[in-house]
Structure 1
Amino acid sequence: MLAAFLDDIRDGDLIAPKRMAERLRLPMTRLSRLAHLNRNTMLARPDSPAVQEKLGQIARIIARAADLAGDEGRAIIWFKHQPLPGWGKTAEELVEEGLAQDVLDDLERQAEGVYS
């Protein structure tokens, strides 16, 4: 799952913001808010380390969720619509609040069989 999702959103060695937005079915303005990046910077400087790091966090969440769900489409739906136990918010909302690492940690606990 990881390879397929990353292949779809990459342009060479970089995560392409437009491709990521398309795969997540999000407008660029929404993706920029999630990533805590200026929309214009994200588009003009996709090779920036800050852009790649922030988009990489989102990509890792989707890829890990796809591994657990067995399907990329389910992972995207989960990311956008399913509140996480113990948080009462979706992964998308938590990422927007700057808690991407907490979402990844939660996914790792689920992979180990620990549920909140």
Structure 2
Amino acid sequence: MSAEALIDPDEYQAPETYERFVQDLQKSATAAGKPIIDPRLFARALSMDLQALASDAHVHRVTLSRAQGSEKLQGFLREALQVLRAATDINGDFRVALFWFRNVPIDAFDYLTPERLVSEGRTRDLVRYVQSLKAGAVG
């Protein structure tokens, strides 16, 4: 395993594109020998502290370091990636999608943020909403 394959989550900065983010997550998984999303890398890209990520995923903070493969944690991370992909597809800017995910309240969802909606298990509703925005912009 080469040293360049290792990504230090403590030094990680969100890349310019969604595709690069997924590549970085894959590189991290390959280096660790586990086909899972690294929660520390994910949190760092979103400028999220680990306690907030644990809370969003409804897991104990220790799970982020000792049970990274937890289905509950990995499920939250996968769903967050779905929403980030959909948001990036609409505006074409991954960093804008990151900001939107964490900070922008959506009136159609009682002014909850996308992050909160994913945490509450409403990913499908949110993705449909984002797709409807795209359809409206295109159609």
Structure-1-length-normalised TM-score:
0.83
Q: How many residues align?
A: 114
Preserved contact between residue 14 and residue 52 of structure 1 (Cα < 8 Å):
yes
1:52-94 deviations in Å (ceiling 9; x for gaps): 2221011111122112121111001111222223122211222
Larger Rg: 2
Quick one: percent identity of the two aligned structures? 26
> How do residues 1-116 of structure 1 correspond to structure 2 at under 5 angstroms?
1-10=17-26, 11-12=29-30, 13-87=35-109, 88-113=111-136
Preserved contact between residue 106 and residue 113 of structure 2 (Cα < 8 Å):
yes
1:19 Cα deviation from its structure 2 partner:
0.2
Letter in 2 for 1:95: V
Structure-2-length-normalised TM-score:
0.71
Instruction: Report the RMSD for the aligned CA atoms in angstroms.
Output: 1.9
User: 2 CA distance for matches of 1:76 and 1:46?
Assistant: 22
User: 2 CA distance for matches of 1:103 and 1:8?
Assistant: 25
Greater RCO between the two (CA within 8 Å, min separation 6)? 1
